[in-house]
Amino acid sequence: MQETLEYINCDLCGENETTLLFIKDDYNHVKCNSCGLIYVNPRLKNSRENLDSFYGSDEGDGSLIKNFFIALILPGGKRYFLQN
């Protein structure tokens, strides 16, 4: 699993100084010491194989996300976003 992870700087401000808040499902949730953004670090590498294996399953946590987006794009799917 370690080879599928990458350490990143904060996506909001670019800094790399963080404080560990908690660990859930083996993922570190950190808070940026500069801007306060909370994010997972290290995270899954942005590769097609890693993302497909995480989100592509029809079972488990990934299926909820997958089914949510399928409902958004299929004709007659429920609308989850407000429109002005």
Q: What is the pLDDT of residue 28?
A: 94
Looking at the structure, tell me whether residues 40 and 54 fall in a common domain: no
pLDDT at 40: 92
pLDDT tens-digit map of 23-74: 998 889 999 999 999 999 998 887 566 666 666 655 555 566 666 666 666 5
Based on the fold, state whether residues 39 and 51 are members of the same structural domain.
no
Going by pLDDT thresholds of 50, 70 and 90, the confidence category of residue 84 is very low
- Name residue, tokens 């497909």: 52
Q: What is the DSSP-derived secondary structure letter of residue 75?
A: T
pTM given for the model: 0.56
CB 70 within 8 A of CB 80: no
Band (pLDDT 50/70/90 cuts) for residue 77 is low
Q: How many CA atoms lie within 13 A of 19 on its CB side?
A: 7
Question: What are the distances in angstroms from CA 20 to CA 1, 3, 39, 75?
Answer: 20, 21, 10, 43
Asked if 14 and 38 sit in the same domain, the reply is yes
pLDDT at 3 over 80: no
**pLDDT in the model for residue 8:** 92
**Does 58 lie in the same domain as 37?**
no
Q: How far is C-alpha 22 from the geometric centre of its chain's CA atoms? A: 16
- Count of structural domains, the chain: 2
- Domain, as residue range, for 65: 47-79
